[in-house]
């Protein structure tokens, strides 16, 4: 793995940076976060006393809390998220761009005096285990105690990181304010924020500036802002990958271990897959990470990966004993919940936790709620923040700084049509094409027609810190390097969501997805046969016991049916999307699209022949 980051523009010393921002933001006091349990406990105690969070009933959720946000501060604000690269073309057509100096000037005006009446917290943090070869450091300044508490779960914080920075380690400056100064006599609110919001990234200088929001994705700057947007630029420059991927380990009945990285857009079952309980006897799945992975070529020539985070920031609604029992077991205590409902007995509830809501709920806005209210009790984007180490399925070595060798990469979307249950890419270039064309359907498709697609290449569209076309080329370049050392992982695409003509799910999903995972592992081991199709290789007849999953023969065939007219229509839609990148689009991606059309345009559908 890369031993040190590529040098960038010199950064002033940490103390100088803090002093400059104290002068600009004018906080009442400055608190350095040391990472101790005592300091965090005191912070949470003060938040409860001030009415910012609610302590839950310890008989049900020990040492757990509920935060309620401002109703206008409940999700990432993508329209106010900017990549402020020196050149607009480096941001690309899928990012919002602002000229960096003009943006800095506007931000300076917003931040002037923004912390008056508040505390500035100085939060040194590490993405990845402190001292790891692929770990990177940052320092966030914030006036939100909620952010400090959340970052203390999601990252490694405190003096151990500060020592590294003071010893000369490079670090990413991350400045955040809720933008709600308090003048003498002003009454504070539980969740301060500002109607004006900016989340800005400066790739060349590796800086992040966020104003106006206290919501996790906008304010916990170690997560999407650092670990993906800025880290993707660092990875491009240093020869590795920063990805919106889960990590898991599969152990087969013979005790062989395999490691998988998988990218899924939102609402595609990513967390459920990361915490999979396989329906197959003798197969064990362990969690290494649920959201972000950093992958780098190791000294052995293989692609190795770490989970740079230390916690889970998951969506609560839809998480229940039937969909993700592991997540439910993880949330027994030591958890910060945001915008879920509160039960009469002091515990929490959200849609999907139980089939019937309990009586006497208070909704996420703090208002009484009944099933007749006509609105959800928990906000659809309500969250839980909990330490990864608390997950029952977490691998014992999940935070090994050396990471794990990646055997396969999986891409998935939410597709009712066209995309098979599982398909194996022919090679790395074909795998990059599969990743570049991930999509989910917004609307149902009529027979032979295409539903409206939401494109999300590599599940990174909102999170790539530079031009997505250059990002695709970087993937191709990483593959070229891995081929020289013989360490290229297999690439696969999965789709748990295909439906029949009546709109019925064809595959049961959840634990039964372990059968698909087992086939992938056996392909990696060179043991499972496959059949060739225009889309790639699929399981040969008899390799997956689908009947044991409750799937009939007709439905199994439908899961892999190749509808050439519909796929050719989708190829046109794909081309229109890729054309947005102009001449920057790698020729290899265009070549793969042309090859797909050629395979689909054959006089008759290609037969399925066994391949090794």
Q: What is the mean pLDDT of residues 367-396?
A: 97
- 605 pLDDT above the threshold of 90: no
Q: What is the pLDDT of residue 356?
A: 96
Higher pLDDT, 267 or 418: 418
305, containing H or E segment? strand 303-306
DSSP string, 404-462: EE--EEEEE---SSSS-SEEE-SSHHHHHHHHHT-EEESS---TTS-PPEEE-GGG-TT
Query: Is 269 assigned a ligand-binding role in the annotation?
Result: yes
Q: What is the DSSP letter of 600?
A: H
pLDDT band at 441 (very low <50, low <70, confident <90, very high): confident
- 365 pLDDT above the threshold of 90: yes
Q: What is the mean pLDDT of residues 191-215?
A: 97
Which residues have CB under 8 Å from 355's CB, separation 6+?
A: none
CA distance 171 to 123: 12
CA distance 570 to 558: 18
Candidates 244, 223, 273, 517; CA nearest to 385 is 223
Domains 14-52+76-239 and 311-390 share a fold: no
CA distance 264 to 300: 28
Query: Is 217 assigned a ligand-binding role in the annotation?
Result: yes
Query: Is 215 assigned a ligand-binding role in the annotation?
Result: yes
Q: What is the pLDDT of residue 2?
A: 52
Q: What is the pLDDT of residue 269?
A: 86
* Residues labelled as active-site residues: 268
CATH code for the structural domain at 311-390: 2.170.8.10
Query: Is 135 assigned a ligand-binding role in the annotation?
Result: no
pLDDT band at 602 (very low <50, low <70, confident <90, very high): very low
CATH code for the structural domain at 243-309+401-603: 3.90.228.20
Q: What is the mean pLDDT of residues 413-431?
A: 97
Q: What is the pLDDT of residue 450?
A: 54
CA distance 213 to 591: 43
**What superfamily would CATH give domain 14-52+76-239?**
Phosphoenolpyruvate Carboxykinase, domain 1 (3.40.449.10)
- 447 pLDDT above the threshold of 50: no
Q: What is the pLDDT of residue 75?
A: 86
**What residue has token string 């991930």?**
438
- Which tokens in the block code for residue 359? 């009586």
Helices (DSSP H) in 133-253: which residue ranges? 145-154, 159-166, 216-219, 231-238
- Which tokens in the block code for residue 185? 């006599």
- 10 pLDDT above the threshold of 70: no
Query: Is 511 assigned a ligand-binding role in the annotation?
Result: yes
Domain boundaries, the chain: 14-52+76-239, 243-309+401-603, 311-390
Average pLDDT score, the chain:
94
- 86 pLDDT above the threshold of 60: yes
Q: What is the pLDDT of residue 412?
A: 96
pTM: 0.95
Candidates 415, 400, 413; CA nearest to 308 is 400
């Amino acid at each position: 793995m890369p031993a040190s980051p590529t040098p960038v523009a010199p950064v002033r010393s940490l103390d100088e940076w803090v002093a400059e921002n104290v002068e600009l933001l004018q906080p009442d006091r400055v608190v350095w976060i040391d990472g101790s349990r005592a300091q965090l406990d005191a912070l949470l105690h003060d938040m409860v006393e001030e009415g910012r969070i609610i302590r839950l009933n310890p008989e049900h959720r020990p040492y757990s809390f509920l935060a309620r946000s401002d109703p206008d501060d409940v999700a990432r604000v993508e329209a106010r998220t900017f990549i402020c690269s020196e050149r607009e073309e480096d941001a690309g057509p899928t990012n919002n761009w602002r000229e960096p100096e003009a943006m800095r000037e506007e931000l300076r005006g917003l931040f002037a005096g923004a912390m008056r009446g508040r505390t500035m917290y100085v939060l040194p943090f590490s993405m990845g285990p402190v001292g790891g070869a692929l770990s990177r450091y940052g320092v966030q300044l914030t006036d939100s105690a909620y952010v400090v508490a959340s970052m203390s779960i999601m990252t490694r914080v405190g003096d151990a990181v500060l020592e590294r920075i003071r010893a000369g380690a490079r670090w990413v400056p991350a400045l955040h304010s809720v933008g709600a100064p308090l003048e003498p006599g002003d009454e504070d609110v539980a969740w301060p924020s500002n109607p004006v919001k900016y989340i800005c990234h400066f790739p060349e200088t590796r800086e992040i500036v966020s104003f106006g929001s206290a919501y996790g994705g906008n304010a916990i700057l170690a997560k999407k802002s650092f670990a993906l947007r800025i880290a993707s630029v660092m990875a491009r420059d240093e020869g590795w990958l920063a990805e919106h991927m889960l990590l898991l380990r599969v152990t087969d009945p013979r005790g062989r271990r395999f490691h998988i990285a998988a990218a899924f857009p939102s609402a595609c079952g990513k967390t459920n897959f990361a915490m999979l309980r396989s329906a197959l006897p003798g197969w064990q799945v362990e969690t290494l990470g649920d959201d972000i992975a950093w992958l780098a070529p190791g000294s052995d020539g293989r692609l190795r990966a770490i989970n740079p985070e230390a916690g889970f920031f998951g969506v609560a609604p839809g998480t229940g004993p039937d969909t993700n029992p592991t997540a439910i077991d993880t949330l027994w205590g030591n958890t910060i919940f945001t915008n879920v409902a509160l039960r009469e007995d002091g515990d929490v509830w959200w849609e999907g936790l139980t089939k019937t809501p309990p009586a006497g709920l208070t909704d996420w806005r703090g208002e009484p709620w009944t099933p007749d209210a006509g609105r959800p009790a928990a906000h659809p984007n309500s969250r839980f923040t909990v330490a990864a180490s608390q997950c029952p399925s977490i691998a014992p070595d999940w935070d090994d700084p050396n990471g794990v060798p990646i055997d396969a990469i999986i891409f998935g979307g939410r597709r009712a049509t066209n995309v098979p249950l599982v398909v194996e890419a022919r090679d790395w270039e074909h795998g990059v094409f599969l990743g570049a064309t991930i999509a989910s359907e917004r609307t149902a498709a009529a027979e032979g027609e295409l539903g409206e697609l939401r494109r999300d290449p590599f599940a990174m569209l909102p999170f790539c810190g530079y031009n997505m076309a250059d990002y695709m080329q970087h993937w191709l370049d990483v593959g070229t390097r891995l081929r020289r050392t013989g360490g290229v992982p297999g690439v696969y695409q999965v789709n748990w969501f295909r439906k029949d003509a009546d709109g019925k799910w064809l595959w049961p999903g959840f634990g039964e997805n372990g059968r698909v995972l087992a086939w992938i592992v056996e392909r990696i081991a060179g043991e499972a046969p496959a059949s060739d199709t225009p889309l790639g290789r699929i399981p040969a007849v008899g390799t997956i016991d689908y009947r044991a999953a409750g799937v009939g023969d007709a439905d199994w065939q439908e899961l892999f049916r190749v509808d050439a007219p519909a796929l050719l229509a989708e190829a046109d839609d794909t081309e229109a999307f890729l054309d947005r990148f102009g001449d920057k689009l790698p020729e290899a991606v265009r070549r793969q699209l042309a090859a797909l059309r050629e395979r689909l345009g054959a006089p008759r559908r290609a037969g399925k022949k066994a391949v090794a």
